[in-house]
Structure formats: C-alpha cells, structure tokens
Amino acid sequence: MTAPRLEIDLEKIQHNARVLVQRLAPHGVSVTGVTKACLGSPEIAGAMVRAGVQGIGDSRIENIEAMRRAGIQAPMTLIRSPMPSQTDRIVAAADISLNTEVDVIAMLDTAARRAGTTHGVVLMVELGDLREGIMPSDVVAIAQKVLCFPNIVLKGIGTNLACRSGVSPDAENMAELSVLAESVESATGVPLDIISGGNSANLSWIFGGADTGRINELRLGESILLGCEPLIGEPIDGLFSDAFTLVAEVVESKIKPSKPWGEIAGFTTEVQAQFGDRGQITQSILAIGHQDTYPDGLSAPPGIAILDATSDHLVIDSGDIHTPVGAEIRFQPNYAALVRSMTSPFVTKAMKGQGESVVPGKISQIEAPNGFITPIVPQPAPRSAIGLSAPG
Ligand SMILES: *Cc1c(COP(=O)(O)O)cnc(C)c1O
C-alpha cells in the first residue's frame, strides 16, 4: 500500500468514545465528540456517534459542512468563535456555536433570520487560560443581550482551559462556572441546557471525584482519538492509545558517520564541537517530513531513533534493526502530528473497522491485505501546513 499513510482503527476510536461516555454518565456529564484533529472525518464522527456522544464539535465550518454532506445527523457545534464572514454558512450547517462577541451574535441572528432558522449560542467564559472567553463580570449582562435576539437561542455557558496557558481545571474555576450559570439563570429567568466544563484536560479533575456542580457536558477530542490525558500526557486506563498509526517508507539505507564534516554554516565552532561523534551508524531516510506530519510529535518503535526532519525527509538511526529501502516504519503520532497528517494531502488515510457505514456506499474502497481500507476520495486541495502548532 502507498505511503505515507495514516492507518485509522475506527473500532478503537469507537471503544474509546464509548468508555468515556459511560464513565462520565454517572457524573451527569455528556460528551461532545471533537473531530477537529481529523479534518472532520465523517467515518470518525460516525464512530463517535455510534459510541453514544450526544453531538459533534469541530473548529472549522468546512469540516462541519463535510460531515453534514456525508449524512452525519448528530447536533453539530462550531467550537471556535465564528468568523463574521462565515455567519451564513454557520447557521446553515451548525446547530450551535461557542461565542464571546455580541456583535458576532448579532450577525448570526441576522443570518438565521435570513435563512428562516434559529441558531444556538453557548457563551464562553474566561477563567484564566486567556484564550477565548467573556470576563466573568460581564457574563450576565451579555446573556441578557443575547436573549433579545429573536433568532438566537441561548443554550448555555462554557469555558476552555489548558489550551493556551496550560491553566488546569480545578475545584475553584469549575465552581466559578457553576456559580455563573446560576447567576445567569436567576438574572434572566431562563434555564440553561448546557454547562460545558471544557475539554480532555478536565478528565483528571472529574475522575478525581470532583463535585461537578452544574457542569453537564465536556468537549472531548484528544482523549477519544488518542486515549490520552493532555495535562499529564499519560494514556488513560482502559483506552486504546494506538487508534492512529503513521506509516512511512524507507528510501535510503546506509552506514554513515554520525558526525557531519566540512565547513558547517550557521553554527558556531562551540556548537559544532557539540555534534557528538558516535562513530558509524545505520542511517535510513524515510519519505515523510514536515509537509506530512509534525516530526517532533512522533514516537518511533523501540530501537529506532529519530535524528532529524526536513520538509520531505525523516532521518533515523535504526540501530540493529534492518530497514532496507521499501521497508515500512510505524510511528504513533501525538495530537499535533495527527492533525498535521490528517490535513496533509500527501498522507493517505486508511480506515479499518467501518462497522455500519454512516453513509452506505458513499465511499468506494480498496481492501489491503492487512484489513485496512483505503477510501478513494478526491484529495483535498493542498493547504498550507506551515505554522500549524498543537491543536487544543
Ligand atoms: C480543541 C478544543 C476542544 C477539544 O480539546 P481536546 O483537548 O482535544 O479534548 C474543546 N473545546 C474547544 C473550544 C477546543 O478548541
């Protein structure tokens, strides 16, 4: 099969989502499955829906539109603050969006009126991470304004921590969100459906036996897709951390010196002296690079060390492992590597374990010997992968 490719085990993703849905239910917390790291894949969204998530969230309207076209029926939430230029598309494809700006909500109201529909709004509250959010002291006043828009439904409030500054969800900030929910309800007399406590970084807090107060929803991406808790970076007990495997192919395999020679530009002689000389090594080049993934986010198999990466090459020391040209090496991607590989047009996506297909017959497939299925889908137009950092 062609490389590089991302092998995606839909049954493992479905298992992860189901376990998280079941573990959160006793806490009165439901799950919105977040697909932003997988280019809004309808197959992955379908696996999450079969596992019992109550809705799907994505940061990009393009992804939400693609899932809608593919027949995903679950409620859809746009989890990034809407762009004013996209409000017509947002009210058409998404049921709810997370918002912080009254001016944008006014535009969503106008767009919804034009479209003869209504649009749900969750107001995001700033609780210290300093990414999106209304300052807590302004939440009640803004909720009152939102209630004046005839085509907007105030669905609830939420927050997002641990994405920009790494601020952890804890008893204090989560209790503050609950208190704010009560304040909005008592000031407006309108009950809130959704109190969205955060993302995968909230799991340690909840499973640590926290009082969840009014929090009744989490938006989970990384924990479902990679079985990983982002704060400590540890695998979550009982979940698969290998639902995604990135496979790359060897195009050069040689014994070479470990230390470069010649005049070396760009480094002082002191730095150059630090280039260790480990003698001769077994160096292989894989045909994968920054255009295909985030090389720093790859875990290599035991015995293989990643030495360097350029746009198109990954240089490895394969030690005692025989890696002739044509050999395939399998890596586990972290969240940043996953998002870059999912969005790279150069990486083939091979799905396994489709279960009941979301849209029967929509995607034609070839079956490979190892059971992975390569969907024959038009490649997306190349888009820039430059400047992408860790999602979240
Ligand atoms: C990315 C994101 C999530 C999901 O985060 P994970 O760490 O992948 O669970 C939830 N909410 C918002 C607003 C996000 O941007």
In this predicted model, what pLDDT tens digit does every residue of 275-304 receive, in sequence order? Answer: 778 999 999 999 999 999 999 999 999 999
pLDDT at 236 over 70: yes
Fold of 9-233: TIM Barrel (3.20.20)
pTM of the model: 0.90
Q: Is 12 a catalytic residue?
A: no
What separation in Å is there between the alpha carbon of 162 and the centre of ligand 1? Answer: 9
219 lines ligand 1 (CB under 6 A): yes
From the CA of 392, give the closest atom in ligand 1: 1
| The predicted structure's pLDDT at residue 276 | 78
| The predicted structure's pLDDT at residue 61 | 98
| The predicted structure's pLDDT at residue 370 | 55
pLDDT at 74 over 60: yes
Ramachandran sector of residue 228 (left: φ over 0; alpha: ψ -120 to 50; beta: rest) = beta
In angstroms, rounded to a whole number, what is the distance separating the alpha carbons of residues 318 and 203? Answer: 37
The ranges of the chain annotated as CATH 3.20.20.10 are 9-233
From the CA of 201, give the closest atom in ligand 1: 7
The answer to whether the beta carbons of residues 51 and 18 sit under 8 Å apart is yes
- Type of residue found at 173: N
pLDDT-based confidence at 385, cuts 50/70/90?
Answer: very low
pLDDT at 50 over 50: yes
The ranges of the chain annotated as CATH 2.40.37.10 are 244-345
The answer to whether the beta carbons of residues 121 and 155 sit under 8 Å apart is yes
Query: Which of 31, 32, 36, 122 most suits a substitution to test ligand 1, by most atoms within 8 Å of the C-beta?
Result: 36
Which range (148-152, 243-247, 265-269, 342-346) has the least confidence? Answer: 265-269
| The predicted structure's pLDDT at residue 159 | 98
Question: Model confidence over 182-232: pLDDT tens digits?
Answer: 999 999 999 999 999 999 999 999 999 999 999 999 999 999 999 999 998
Question: Model confidence over 102-114: pLDDT tens digits?
Answer: 999 999 999 999 9
| The predicted structure's pLDDT at residue 266 | 79
From the CA of 335, give the closest atom in ligand 1: 8
Fold of 244-345: Lyase, Ornithine Decarboxylase; Chain A, domain 1 (2.40.37)
The answer to whether the beta carbons of residues 195 and 231 sit under 8 Å apart is no
pLDDT at 87 over 80: yes
What separation in Å is there between the alpha carbon of 124 and the centre of ligand 1? Answer: 13
| The predicted structure's pLDDT at residue 267 | 75
What separation in Å is there between the alpha carbon of 229 and the centre of ligand 1? Answer: 12
Question: Model confidence over 121-179: pLDDT tens digits?
Answer: 999 999 999 999 999 999 999 999 999 999 999 999 999 999 999 999 999 999 999 99
Question: How buried is 330 (Cβ within 10 angstroms: 0-12 exposed, 13-18 middle, 19+ buried)?
Answer: middle
